[in-house]
Structure formats: structure tokens, C-alpha cells
Amino acid sequence: MKDQSSSRRKTVLIVEDDPHSQLYFTKLLAGLYDTAVAESAADAWDLLHERTFDLVLMDISLKGDEDGLSLTRRLRSEEAFKKMPIVAVTAYAFPDDRTRAIDAGCTDYLPKPVSSSDLHRKIAELTLK
């Protein structure tokens, strides 16, 4: 009997408020992953409580009431999200930004612009664990 968990397509939540970045990530992942987009921390929170995702791409500099780091900390406080891979994605590329993302609970960090190969490699690495 075939193991369905390994054959089903992985799902990725893209938490990104910039429309160009939303489109970029959606196109990079098209055909390989099922994706959903959340434009705000509130939208992401709702989607994560309604559906199951294998990985979250988190823009750490979300505009609005809550940024991506704050949302990550809040998610990590809930048992259901303690082990979910959350990859910080940001235009901030200083070493301190990586440290802040990891300290907030992000599993890993990718600086923008993210190449297709780096993105696919990181998702594969984190969803095969």
C-alpha cells in the first residue's frame, strides 16, 4: 500500500503583504506545491487555524497591527505550531536580522531576493524531516 503522506502535494502558506512578492512566490511554487496567500498576520492566523500547511513562508516585515516575527512568536506559543517549519523571508539581510528571526521561532531564514533553487531546496529540506 502506498503511503499517502509522502505522495500528497505539500502545502505552503505565503504570508506576504507585497503583491509583487506574493505573485513571485506563487509562481515559483506553482505546480510543485499547493499554496495559499495571507496578506496580513490576522489573515495568516485565520488560515493556519482553518487549514493544514506543511510550511510557512513568513515576511518578517509585515505592515499592520502585527509583523511576521510577532506572529511567529504567537504561533510558537500554541502546541499545534511548535514544530511547523516557518521560514523567514525578508529584504533585510543583515546578520542581526537572521538572529532576530531565529530567536522569534523561525526555523530558517532566506534573504530577498530569493532564488528559485534556494527556495525549492529549503522547502524540500524542511518538509522531508
Per-residue pLDDT at 92: 72
Report yes or no on whether pTM surpasses 0.95. no
Asked if 17 and 59 count as a contact pair (C-beta separation under 8 A), the reply is yes
Delimit the domains of the chain by residue range.
Answer: 7-127
Per-residue pLDDT at 1: 37
Q: How far apart are CA 79 and CA 125, in angstroms?
A: 22
Divide the 129 residues of the chain into consecutive groups of 10 and give the mean pLDDT of each group: 60 97 97 97 98 97 94 98 96 83 96 93 91
Asked if 57 and 16 count as a contact pair (C-beta separation under 8 A), the reply is yes
Domain at 7-127: CATH code: 3.40.50.2300
The three cell numbers of residue 6 are 509522502
